[in-house]
Structure 1
Amino acid sequence: MHITELRLHGFKSFVDPARAPIERGLTGVVGPNGCGKSNLLEAVRWVMGATSAKSMRAADMDDVIFSGSAGRPSREHAEVTLFLADAAGRAPAPFNKEDLLEVTRRIRRGLGSTYRINGKEVRAKDVQLLFADAATGANSPALVRQGQISELIAAKPQNRRRILEDAAGIAGLHARRHEADLKLKAAETNLTRLDEVLAEIEAQAASLKKQARQAERYRGLAQTLRETEALLLHRRWTEARERQAEAQTALREAERATAQAASEASAAERAAEEKREALAPLREEEAIAAAVLRRLEGVRVGLERDLAEAVGAIERCDAEARRARDEADRLNALKQDAQTALAQL
């Protein structure tokens, strides 16, 4: 697997799209100071997954975006694409069957970086492992930057060991080992958590067993309750049937009594009709008798009036008779007095 081409757009001094083909063998970049030769090497490091802004000679990763000049405005994003050939069987899944790989890193100001391999978005770790398996990468000593020779001379044994591991092509194995260690630690953490979860589950299981026993007891009581309710409902149903039979008997008796009453009412209606027919002559007689009574009543009133007049006349006669007697008594008294006087004479 080897690099065939490097494309840049908005990366540091490469404000316009630029293309740098890399042929087999030795490819040299020649130019005056400040023309961007080091920026090409840093672009290769950056697209390989570099995470240190210091290694990019920048204070912040956003500083790799073209910041503008006197005649050109600043850019809001930068993009670097690296083309790889003869990659079949050497790239990680799902790209291990691809012969040509196109690795792209794009950064937007304030939003961070995104990686793509053959147009498919991937993680930064996937890109770093891709180049680590090829015994290279952003931090590979094969990419010598400015001042790195003096750093290698004064390097610590650990850094020299890393250089030897990169030269031996086992840096990718160490990266995978580190990733495997992280996964192992994560698995151990998960196992510890699993033990805690199992303890919680056991406690819950004990509680569930208790609840199951209670539920079983509840089912037994519920079955007994259902049986009792069924017996009670059957008893009520039996009593209702008995009351229904009694009610039907009473209904039949009531129907017979109703029929008898209807028959008696019909007979009474016929008798009343006969009475009404016999009542017509009586009403005529009553009317005649009432007329006679009214006439007699008029006669009675006249007689009572005559009687009252006669009584008044009798009372007047009695009064006159009393006055006559009184006058006769007075005259007799005068007569006696006269006789007495005559006798004395």
Structure 2
Amino acid sequence: MKLTRLRIAGFKTFVEPTDFLIEPGLTGVVGPNGCGKSNLVEALRWVMGENSFKNMRATGMDDVIFSGSGGRPARNWAEVMLTIDNAERTAPAAFNDTDLLEISRKIEREEGSTYRVNGKEVRARDVQILFADAATGSRSPALVRQGQISEIISAKPQARRRILEDAAGIAGLHARRHEAELRLKAAEDNLVRVEDVTRELESQIESLKRQGRQASRYKTLSAEIRRLEALMYAISFSEAREQAATAERQVTEALKAVADATEEQTRAATAQAVAAHA
């Protein structure tokens, strides 16, 4: 992969969009103190995934946004885009399907940064691994910031080892190993959580089984109660119907007795009247 262009907008002193072409061979930037030479290197480090505002010579990551000057208002965002020639197809597999890679990082004040590769939003970790696989990156010894030479001279052996690993191109392997270890740790934590959830669900299952047995018993008893109530209502209805039939017979018999008594009384009155005339 070859760096071909750096586009900067709203980053530190580069308030207007500025294209910095990186031609084949040696490209030099000269100028007086304070003209922004170091800001070019910091823009390159920043778009490669630098997440330490101290390495950006700032008190916070929002400080990389143009803060305004006497004749220009402050900006609310900054963006840096790095164009890479990938004709040799040496990029990681996830980004190795095009001849040109455009990696951008945009920050909005109090909103944080977003990374994109060819317009597709990606994680900061993806960008860092992309450059680590190419034996470069925001912490690469090839990018020398102010005061870094003296830091390397006084560095501890472990720090020097990291520099040698970056130069040897194995930093990407360490980054992937670290990410794999983090994923493994997350998976182990998830397994522990799954075991806790499983135990909790088992206790809930036992409780639900008891409730299920109680519900089944309640259903059986309710059905038996309804059956007995229906039987009781049927018996009561049958008894009531028999009582009604008996009462109806008694009424019929009483009416017949009344009719017979009336007829007998009529005959007796007739006989008495006949006897009186005789």
TM-score range, shorter chain: 0.7 to 0.9
Say yes or no: does 1:218 pair with 2:232.
no
- 1:63-102 Cα shifts (integer Å, max 9, x gaps): 2122233333332221111112217572353x44233221
Determine if contact 2:105/2:114 at 8 Å carries over to the other structure.
Answer: yes
Structure-1 residue corresponding to 2:184:
184
Structure-1 residue corresponding to 2:198:
198
Structure-1 residue corresponding to 2:168:
168
Other structure's SS at 1:82 match: strand
Letter in 2 for 1:112: G
Letter in 2 for 1:192: V
- Unmatched tracts of structure 2, length 5 or more: 257-278
Equivalent-residue separation in structure 1 for 2:10 and 2:92 (angstroms): 28
Determine if contact 2:86/2:96 at 8 Å carries over to the other structure.
Answer: no
Q: Structure 1 216/31 Cα, relative in aligned 2: closer, same or farther at 3 Å?
A: same
Structure-1 residue corresponding to 2:72:
72
Q: Structure 1 208/13 Cα, relative in aligned 2: closer, same or farther at 3 Å?
A: same
Letter in 2 for 1:8: I
Determine if contact 2:49/2:124 at 8 Å carries over to the other structure.
Answer: yes
Structure-1 residue corresponding to 2:265:
none
* Higher relative helix content: 1
- Unmatched tracts of structure 1, length 5 or more: 258-345
- TM-score (norm: length of structure 1): 0.65
Determine if contact 2:76/2:108 at 8 Å carries over to the other structure.
Answer: yes
Equivalent-residue separation in structure 2 for 1:240 and 1:157 (angstroms): 108
Alignment of 1:1-345 (within 5 A): 1-86=1-86, 88=89, 90-91=91-92, 93=94, 95-236=95-236, 238=238, 246=245
The percent identity for this pair of structures is 64
Equivalent-residue separation in structure 1 for 2:184 and 2:176 (angstroms): 12
Equivalent-residue separation in structure 2 for 1:176 and 1:243 (angstroms): 95
Larger relative contact order, structure 1 or 2 (CA cutoff 8 Å, min sep 6): 2
Equivalent-residue separation in structure 1 for 2:201 and 2:23 (angstroms): 63
Larger Rg: 1
Q: Structure 1 229/140 Cα, relative in aligned 2: closer, same or farther at 3 Å?
A: farther
Range that drifts further, 204-213 or 11-20:
204-213
Q: CA deviation at 1:239?
A: 5.3
Letter in 2 for 1:122: V
Q: Structure 1 92/242 Cα, relative in aligned 2: closer, same or farther at 3 Å?
A: farther
Q: CA deviation at 1:156?
A: 0.9
Equivalent-residue separation in structure 1 for 2:80 and 2:49 (angstroms): 11
Equivalent-residue separation in structure 2 for 1:225 and 1:105 (angstroms): 74
- 1:300-343 Cα shifts (integer Å, max 9, x gaps): xxxxxxxxxxxxxxxxxxxxxxxxxxxxxxxxxxxxxxxxxxxx
- 1:120-153 Cα shifts (integer Å, max 9, x gaps): 2332222222222222211111211122122112
Give the aligned CA root-mean-square deviation in angstroms: 2.9
Determine if contact 1:89/1:97 at 8 Å carries over to the other structure.
Answer: no
